């Protein structure tokens, strides 16, 4: 059985790994990259780091977590 994700306080709100998750749900890595003026691969790397830190299995879980914690809008 997988561990539950830690509370949002484990991440710095201003840290570089948190920036791509801010905004609105449903955007692709390419759209987020354009919005943040970074590469799509960088967005994918940040998402992977968030998944690992939050002990989540895939991007859908990350989206749900972000909506639940108020980090992004549905």
pLDDT tens for 14-36 read 555 444 445 567 788 899 889 88
> For residue 52, is pLDDT > 90?
yes
Kind and range of the H or E run holding 24 = strand 23-24
pLDDT, the chain, mean: 77
Q: How many CB atoms lie under 10 A from the CB of residue 63?
A: 19
Which residues have CB under 8 Å from 64's CB, separation 6+? none
pLDDT of amino acid 71: 82
Work out the pLDDT band at 59, boundaries 50, 70, 90.
confident
User: In whole angstroms, what is the distance from residue 4 CA to residue 45 CA?
Assistant: 22
- Predicted TM-score (pTM) of this structure: 0.64
pLDDT score, position 28:
87
Q: Which domains does the chain have, with CATH numbers?
A: 16-73 (1.10.10.10)
Distance, in Å, from the CA atom of 28 to the CA atom of 20, rounded to the nearest integer, reads 11
């Amino acid at each position: 059985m997988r561990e539950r994700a830690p509370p949002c306080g484990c991440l710095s709100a201003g840290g570089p790994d948190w920036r791509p998750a801010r905004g609105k749900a449903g955007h692709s890595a390419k759209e987020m990259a354009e919005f943040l003026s970074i590469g799509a691969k960088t967005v994918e790397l940040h998402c992977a780091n968030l998944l690992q830190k939050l002990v989540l299995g895939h991007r859908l879980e990350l989206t749900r977590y972000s909506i639940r914690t108020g980090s992004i809008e549905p």
